[in-house]
Amino acid sequence: MVRMTYADAAKLAVAEAMRADPTVWCVGEDLGRGGVFKQYTGLVEEFGPRRISDAPISEAAIMGAAFGAAMAGTRPIVEMRFADFALCATDELVNQIAKARFMFGGQSRAPMVIRKPMGMWRSSAAQHSQSLESWYVHIPGLVVCCPATPQDNYAMMKAAIACDDPVVYLEHKDIWATEGEVDTSLPGRFGKAGIRRAGTDVTLVSWSNTANLCVQAADRLAEDGINAEVIDLVSLWPWDKQAVLASVKKTGRLVVAHEAVCVAGFGAEVVATVAQTMVLKAPPVRLGSPRGLIAYAPNLEDQMRVTADMIAAAAKKTMEFETA
């Protein structure tokens, strides 16, 4: 077990993969200076500029070039700097990369990791703060991962690099400096949720940084005698339906929370899956951002946030219903 930050955990995973496999390389803007969030610090000194490749400011060119390199037999890690910037390369990702294996009849593939720092962070405003994970879950051919802890950022990055399909890898910008214990012997598995806290009264489901808020909410609920179970999905496609269903079967209550806009967010998929499977003790609850633009001003930005207090209040509300 080693204690490290969320950013350093992914960096360690990248470095280990590059040492083990010469076909793994990184490409993106600002990598030569360590990346915008310093998540590549020291890698260019170890691996050189050919494998830690600085690219011009053209997301479409970065994505397209990496796609060609992936089809030619390498395993690129594509750094998009911000999830919002990656929209400039959406055509390459959605219409080419996601469909390559299918359209070439399995003769070619695109083993790529597309890193997209996501979420609200220090007044980054409307064009630098979005959480767009549900967009990519909607696209067949893409794997989608949203790790919340240093442990998962290490293990899932290793799994993403080894994956033979393209992985949209969303890391929350607000937790780069978060520290935690990392066991490098533990493998990452897509479609395998983590039970961050066991409980019997209400199930809290989330991913990315909001999963951390769910843990905080569960701790607060415990002070009031409510035993909440926290399910961190880790990956959204594939996602661990069985873990969620097993938990809700036990608790009979469900709260799903995410930072992304609530309208058409992935939380709706979780709620629908549960509702189609079993009868609950209370109506399921979805928490997400309002369908509005994220302001620069901190007081306005805070109006868009899902908080631990909101999650705890929603869980308490479900406890008010009579047992079915």
Active site residues: 128
Q: How many CB atoms lie within 10 A of CB 197?
A: 19
- Angle of helix 150-162 relative to helix 6-20, nearest 10 degrees? 30
Both structure tokens of 146: 């949203």
Whole-number Å distance between alpha carbons of 118 and 81? 9
Both structure tokens of 324: 């079915």
Q: How many CB atoms lie within 10 A of CB 54?
A: 14
DSSP string computed for 7-22: HHHHHHHHHHHHHH-T
Name which of 227, 202, 226, 224 is nearest 282 in CA terms.
Answer: 202
Whole-number Å distance between alpha carbons of 257 and 228? 14
Distances (CA, A) of 36 to 124, 149, 152, 209: 13, 20, 21, 19
Name which of 256, 230, 109, 83 is nearest 170 in CA terms.
Answer: 83
Name which of 1, 3, 4 is nearest 177 in CA terms.
Answer: 4
243 touches 250 (CB < 8 A): no
* Three-class secondary structure of residue 294 per DSSP: coil
Residues 6+ apart with CB under 8 A from 162: 17
Q: How many CB atoms lie within 10 A of CB 305?
A: 14
